[in-house]
Structure 1
């Protein structure tokens, strides 16, 4: 009854069906890997909020190059670790990161190098402030930077990716992203390979600053894609079986002999 499946035409259809189903399963597996990866990131974000701070060097290796270079990035499992570090802010190289949104308002994040005792620096994101009157990109009035020794507690954040041109305007650096490879050449010391999102500071930070939230990755979306692709794969195989059965019944001369709904027939003339 199903010998027709051994014909070249049907063997070709079957091969294409299997390939399509395998591709869909692989796409589902890829989304499953992304789900696990994003879940791990979310767990690190939550753990960083709860944990006691550790010394900077426990989470981030020191840079070993000269001025204007970037040190090695943190290990993946050390991102969002809460750290403590002490140094002096470099007020000559404040970075304004424009176009940043907090609480649905567009403004600037103020990133300031904290120079450590060994002469290296960590970029510290001190928080978000609104722009000056005149537009979302009008350079803001930055609150005074503490002088002298400052102790910072915050979470390690990997350098942001993407092209981010760095310019200097009115004595301050400006960029769209906290991209350490592009910011470091503008600075006169080696820079650590991650920056720190400020949580607490001694002396206390100016209340004008708003803390920059860390958004959780939408891992449930990836899980939904997993289910979607696997269902599509199963439906592809089921569809082949349904079409093959229909063809087998046609070749065998089997007709649909279910009773018709006579009420739907037109009335006789």
Structure 2
């Protein structure tokens, strides 16, 4: 280890500290990716558990809508009542199939409880001539309607304005301010089916994907990057030690009558490194008869080329 005593100098210890900080940062980034994977798996589990289940009556899901808990997302609920079309609004900047458009939001008065629940009936593309309005805004069925919806927690309020008749997010507080009466404010319903079926309806939003994403592989990559920093530090130390060996050999050439053939122009860099090691063994008293015989043989082999 004496040969690598330079690793205890401030410069090399400083680079080791940099490697440790970098490795710790990579560990934190890896944990961040694992947390994102955990969130994705929770969402997948909710979809699998709730999305395709038989609908439950609204009376049984009334508290779920009031609470709006993420664990109840995608619960299928059957409702009976009527749309309040005159109070419909549009949620703007909603993506669907790689395009940006609107979601049509219509309050729905549930006949059994009298609750008014906001239902998103689907997605509407923007007009080709005026991007600030949808291309069409189909009217929902009138009178008594049976609707099957999937529960979605209400969205938080965002600091962004919207034109008249539109919302920046599906936030029930903002909706109440525009219509002037109370709504079930924990969640809203995402349309699955309605009866009677209308002649024209918004496009249904796509089924959520069951994809956890590349978070696990990314976390492993970050850990690997952190460990590679120590490998790079040690490799740099090996190169530095090799350069020191060559410098020591060059310095010793003036003290010996070219005993190791170091001045031979045919001796390559690798050969000079080997000769430097022999020189160190000779100076330290560890140069044995076998080493001398090997050096004699190698010297004559080089001379005979």
What's the TM-score bracket when you normalise by the shorter of the two chains? 0.7 to 0.9
Q: Which has the higher contact order (CA 8 A, sep 6+)?
A: 1
Question: Structure 2: any 5+ residue segments left out of the alignment?
Answer: 250-268, 273-305
The residue number in structure 2 matching 1:267 is none
Structure-2 separation of matches of 1:112 and 1:258: 84
Aligned in 2, Cα 1:184/1:252: closer, same or farther, shift over 3 Å?
farther
The residue number in structure 1 matching 2:169 is 177
The residue number in structure 2 matching 1:266 is none
Deviations 1:45-78 (A, max 9, x none): 3444322223446656368xxxxxxx5432x221
SS at match of 1:200: strand
Q: What does 1:66-105 align with in structure 2 at a 5 Å threshold? A: 71-74=66-69, 76-104=70-98
Q: What does 1:186-225 align with in structure 2 at a 5 Å threshold? A: 186-187=178-179, 188-216=181-209, 219-225=212-218
Aligned in 2, Cα 1:101/1:50: closer, same or farther, shift over 3 Å?
same
Structure-2 separation of matches of 1:231 and 1:223: 13
Structure-2 separation of matches of 1:58 and 1:232: 52
Check whether the contact 2:64–2:72 (CA below 8 A) recurs between aligned residues. no
SS at match of 1:136: coil
Question: Structure 1: any 5+ residue segments left out of the alignment?
Answer: 64-70, 260-269
Report which of the two has the higher share of helix: 2
Q: What does 1:95-174 align with in structure 2 at a 5 Å threshold? A: 95-104=89-98, 106-116=100-110, 117-131=112-126, 134-161=129-156, 162-168=158-164, 173-174=165-166
Measured after TM superposition, the shift of residue 17 of structure 1 is 0.8
1:4 aligns with 2:17: no
Aligned in 2, Cα 1:167/1:258: closer, same or farther, shift over 3 Å?
same
The residue number in structure 1 matching 2:19 is 17
Pairwise CA RMSD:
3.0
Q: TM-score, normalised by structure 2?
A: 0.69
Which entry has the higher C-alpha Rg, 1 or 2? 2
Deviations 1:216-239 (A, max 9, x none): 386323234223312211211111
Measured after TM superposition, the shift of residue 112 of structure 1 is 0.6
The residue number in structure 1 matching 2:270 is 257
Structure-2 separation of matches of 1:113 and 1:247: 74
Deviations 1:114-167 (A, max 9, x none): 123434322111112345563333355533333333222122223334334354
Structure-2 separation of matches of 1:247 and 1:181: 67
Paired residue total: 247
Check whether the contact 2:125–2:134 (CA below 8 A) recurs between aligned residues. no
Q: What does 1:46-61 align with in structure 2 at a 5 Å threshold? A: 46-56=48-58, 61=63
Q: TM-score, normalised by structure 1?
A: 0.77
